[in-house]
Structure 1
């Protein structure tokens, strides 16, 4: 029978960061300040139980596990004490699947983020992002793009939600020719910069596609990667840039 182990201080820091200091079930803050010090009010909860009862074994017999070793950090998640108690008593399949899904998404995101450092983007793209954020945009996109913008319909599959698809389509219609013009200006200052940037986006997209099938997730990961690689630039502006590359065929 495995012995319960307490996550180390470093592991607790990892668990806290994974859920961004909020209980993933009730959104309660997992730290509080008193006497000038930070104190934790969370526990590292086993997602699959450490020593399941016979009833729990039967209940979860067909469920996927995050790791073969229940004491591995992959099987832990930070919960506030109240939610931990409710999760354990009584244990249900629905609650298990909910926490399993949350942690699996965290692990997948962590795996992708570990690749951000290895895939570079030309620093000049920050100039295009800055223009989007800081300069006033006058909508003068020709109507001809209204028909052409709909390559997205041919590319998007059921893994891209309707709301994201609508946002991407609108961003293509509103910004595509404007961003294209900004890249032309960029190329006049830094020759071939657009081709290098396009290749870098396409390469990272191809890497993501090897391990992730959801277009929704890939769109979010590309947007975050571009933001992180350009000094935490505006996620909104970075999403517009990724929409440009969807229309331009480097993505999807």
Structure 2
């Protein structure tokens, strides 16, 4: 069974755009778990533009209380700074079930590529060992077609296939080559002893095709599309509830 981990970064973005505490990341997390999500994901960045260190600790406590996994994503090479102790330090304190290492630069809007394993393997290996010492399963962000065997040599437990190119090709109506590359990468990862996760721009429009074609996907991490879809699919009910508050005696169409 492929498990769904919900990335809550976009809830934090909306909160931070206004200041204050709304929308509440912890309440959103509880709602996702109540709906049946298998786990929670956060990707705190050094500039704290969305998820913050306090969000990490709050979700770590919730995940422990609810018996679900927290997947913490981040660049282990990004330098600590005020408000951001560094990814390894966050994992040391929060003890997520899974640490997903991502090679994003500070200025990137979103993660858009995997590791160059030939270049980064030796630097990653001691960090993977340290993270596993905290009890974390370690996953490495990987481009489809990359040398994922080197991820296993570095000591990783899983890879997360970067699915952005697949999602773009699917939207254009030409997904076959991208799907084939993802499927081949998953097979090679499995042969190397790695588990397979996937994420980035997966959505209701493309998820079924992806999991049908790519073997052995253990977990998908979905945030941006899921939160966007929730806005559309939840607006009708919310508008009707506001109207009921304003006009309690006025008959409205059933919710």
Query: TM class by shorter-chain length?
Result: under 0.3
Bigger relative contact order, structure 1 or 2 (CA pairs below 8 A, ≥6 apart): 1
Q: Which has the higher strand share?
A: 2
Q: TM-score if structure 1 supplies the norm length? A: 0.25
Larger-Rg structure: 1
Q: TM-score if structure 2 supplies the norm length? A: 0.25
Q: Which has the higher helix share?
A: 1
